[in-house]
Amino acid sequence: MTEQLFADVILPLPLGDMFTYRIPADFQANIKVGVRVIVQFGARKFFSALVYKLHNNMPVGSFDIKDIDAILDPEPIITPAQIILWEWMVDYYCCTMGEVYKAALPSALKLESQTKVSFNPNFNMPVDMPGEEEALLLMLQGHGQANIQSINKFLGKKSALSTLKILLEKNAVLIEEKLADSYSAKVQPFIFLHPKLANDNAIREALESLKKAKKQQQLLEFFLAETLYHEEKRPNIAKKELLEQSGISDTVLRTLLEKEFLHLQEIEVGRLDFSSDGEQKIFDLNEAQNKAFSEIKQYQPTGKPVLLHGVTASGKTEVYIKLIEEQLALGKQVLYLVPEIGLTTQLINRLKRAFGDKAGIYHSRFNDSERVEIWLNTLHEREKSFEIIIGARSAALLPFRNLGLIIVDEEHENSYKQFDPSPRYNARDVAVVLAQIHRAQVILGTATPSFESYFNVKTNKYALVEMKERFQNISLPEMVIADVREATKRKQMKSLLTPDLYDSIETALKNEEQVILFQNRRGFAPYLQCGTCGWIPKCKNCDVSLTYHKHLSALVCHYCGHTQSLPDGCGECHSEDIKTRGFGTEKIEEELSLIFPEARIARMDMDSTRAKKAYERLIYQFESKQIDILVGTQMVTKGLDFDHVSVVGILNADQLLNYPDFRSFERSYQLIAQVSGRAGRKNKQGKVIIQTTQPKHPVLLEVAEHNFIQLFNRQMSERQLFKYPPYFRLVKVVLKHKNRDRLNLAANQMAAKLRKLFGFNILGPEYPLVGRIQSWYQKEIWVKLERDQKLMSSKKKILEEIKSIKTQPNNAGLVAYADVDPM
Binding region for Zn(2+): 530, 533, 539, 542, 557, 560, 570, 573
CA dist 35 → 71, 160, 245, 802 (Å):
7, 18, 45, 32
- Residue from 310, 537, 632, 765 touching ligand ADP (CB under 6 A): that is 310
> In terms of CB distance, is 317 or 498 closer to ligand ADP?
317
Binds 343: which of Zn ion, ligand ADP, none (CB < 5-8 Å by kind): none
- For the chain, what is the radius of gyration of the CA atoms? 29
CA dist 576 → 102, 255, 546, 569, 706 (Å):
52, 47, 18, 4, 48
User: Backbone phi, then psi, for 694, in 5-degree steps?
Assistant: -125, 65
Rounded distance, CA 546 to CA 570, Å? 14
Stretch that binds Zn ion, among 172-180, 258-266, 375-383, 571-579 (CB under 5 A): 571-579
Stretch that binds ligand ADP, among 70-78, 190-198, 285-293, 599-607 (CB under 6 A): 285-293
For residues 136 and 151, is the Cβ–Cβ distance under 8 A? yes
Q: Is 312 in the site for ligand ADP (CB under 6 A)?
A: yes
Rounded distance, CA 550 to CA 246, Å? 21
Stretch that binds ligand ADP, among 33-41, 125-133, 307-315, 500-508 (CB under 6 A): 307-315
Q: Is 348 in the site for ligand ADP (CB under 6 A)?
A: no
Q: Nearest distance from residue 682's CB to ligand ADP, in Å?
A: 7
Binds 687: which of ligand ADP, Zn ion, none (CB < 5-8 Å by kind): none
User: Where are the alpha helices (H) located in 631-739, listed in sequence order?
Assistant: 653-657, 664-676, 698-704, 708-721
Q: Is 391 in the site for ligand ADP (CB under 6 A)?
A: no
**How many residues at the interface with ligand ADP, by CB under 6 A?**
16
Give the angle subtended at the CA of 796 by the CAs of 790 and 799, to the nearest 5°: 145
- Residue from 36, 110, 316, 753 touching ligand ADP (CB under 6 A): that is 316
Q: In the window 756-795, what residues touch ligand ADP (CB under 6 A)?
A: none
Q: Is 541 in the site for Zn ion (CB under 5 A)?
A: yes
Q: Nearest distance from residue 568's CB to Zn ion, in Å?
A: 12
Q: Nearest distance from residue 747's CB to Zn ion, in Å?
A: 22
- Residue from 314, 367, 377, 448 touching ligand ADP (CB under 6 A): that is 314
> In terms of CB distance, is 770 or 799 closer to Zn ion?
770
Question: 818: helix, coil or strand?
Answer: strand
Question: 8: helix, coil or strand?
Answer: strand
Binds 317: which of Zn ion, ligand ADP, none (CB < 5-8 Å by kind): ligand ADP
Q: Nearest distance from residue 277's CB to ligand ADP, in Å?
A: 16
Q: Is 712 in the site for Zn ion (CB under 5 A)?
A: no
Question: 249: helix, coil or strand?
Answer: coil
CA-nearest of 101, 88, 103 to 792 is 88
Torsion over CA: 147, 153, 158, 164 (sign): negative
Q: Is 573 in the site for Zn ion (CB under 5 A)?
A: yes
Rounded distance, CA 625 to CA 645, Å? 10
- Residue from 539, 619, 673, 730 touching Zn ion (CB under 5 A): that is 539
> In terms of CB distance, is 372 or 743 closer to Zn ion?
743
Rounded distance, CA 283 to CA 750, Å? 58
Determine if the peptide bond prior to 726 is cis (ω within 30°).
Answer: yes
Q: Nearest distance from residue 681's CB to ligand ADP, in Å?
A: 6
Q: Which residues contact 601 (CB under 8 A, 6 or more apart)?
A: 589, 592, 593, 627, 628, 629, 630, 631
Q: Is 15 in the site for ligand ADP (CB under 6 A)?
A: no
> In terms of CB distance, is 310 or 584 closer to ligand ADP?
310
Q: In the window 495-534, what residues touch Zn ion (CB under 5 A)?
A: 530, 532-533
CB atoms within 10 A of CB 200: 9
- Residue from 570, 592, 618, 711 touching Zn ion (CB under 5 A): that is 570
Q: Which residues contact 656 (CB under 8 A, 6 or more apart)?
A: 520, 664, 667, 668, 671, 672
- Residue from 147, 218, 245, 286 touching ligand ADP (CB under 6 A): that is 286
Q: What's the gap between Cα 83 and its chain centre? A: 24
- Residue from 240, 271, 562, 806 touching Zn ion (CB under 5 A): that is 562
> In terms of CB distance, is 416 or 583 closer to ligand ADP?
416
Rounded distance, CA 109 to CA 49, Å? 10
Q: Contact positions toward Zn ion, by CB under 5 A?
A: 530, 532-533, 535, 539, 541-542, 557, 559-560, 562, 570, 572-573, 575
Q: Contact positions toward ligand ADP, by CB under 6 A?
A: 283-286, 289, 310, 312-318, 471, 641, 681
